[in-house]
Amino acid sequence: MRLQGKRAIVTGAGSGFGEGIATRFAAEGATVLVADINTEAAVRVAARIGAPHSHVDVSDPASVSEMIDSFTNAHGTPDIVVNNAGITHLPTPLEDVSEDDFDRVFAVNCKSVYLTARAVVPAFKARGSGVILNIASTAGVSPRPKLNWYNASKGWMNTATKAMAVELAPFGIRVNALNPVAGDTPLLPSFLGEDTPEMRAKFLSTIPLGRFSTPEDLANAALYLCSDEASMITGVCMEVDGGRCI
């Protein structure tokens, strides 16, 4: 029960890494808000782990504010916010990515971090504590061809994590990131372009440990960074990647 009594918000918690993180946090004693743009998925996960749920569009200021306010009114100020919601564009030459796809990737992957920080940091400062965890990607550390603007958005998340960490540390607020290699989640076909055994084998050949990351892998790392065991750790962008970035 390493998060006993803690209150956590996990975005994109209706599937994949977010579902894994929300599930583990709840098992470790936290009150977890399962937040997702897919209401049906959020309801499913929330019912399974016995947690509240919320529909949220993390790129929309009003939606993010409503999510934070509703959770705070019902459960109190959150202790942990996990910015997990994310999207990508299909593998495409950089000059051919549409402006709409570019804007959507940066709105969901980057602006969302700003919006949640704007909503929770004042309360974190007033209390003198809080944890923010951003789920970035190995794509932001070692970019893959044709995932160009997705790569850039995740690199932004890593830089934002360090910038937030150094500014918020004097207020007792820790900010870290995880850089997972691709997992067998709903986003995987978008990374591959076409989900075939051949494409999977090609992708796996770049991961020294020889497998995709799992929601459990990310949940284990997230649990550590968000727990009091990591009270001296801030500004870290931890690779959970089977050696992909070596």
Q: Which residue has the tokens 């009150």?
A: 31
Q: Could you confirm whether 150 is annotated as catalytic? A: yes
Those residues whose C-beta lies under 8 Å from the C-beta of residue 91, and which sit 6 or more positions away, are 145, 146, 147, 191, 192, 193
CA proximity to 53, closest of 38, 61, 65: 38
Burial zone of 93 (CB within 10 Å; 0-12 exposed, 13-18 middle, 19+ buried): exposed
Check: CB of residue 220 under 8 Å from CB of residue 161.
no
Q: Which of 150, 212, 215, 221 is catalytic?
A: 150
Q: How is residue 124 written in tokens?
A: 């974190």
Which amino acid belongs to residue 194?
E
At residue 147's C-alpha, the angle toward residues 142 and 151, to 5°, is 45
Q: Which residues does 177 contact at the CB level (< 8 Å), separation at least 6?
A: 133, 134, 135, 136, 157, 158, 161, 236, 237, 238
Catalytic annotation, residues: 150
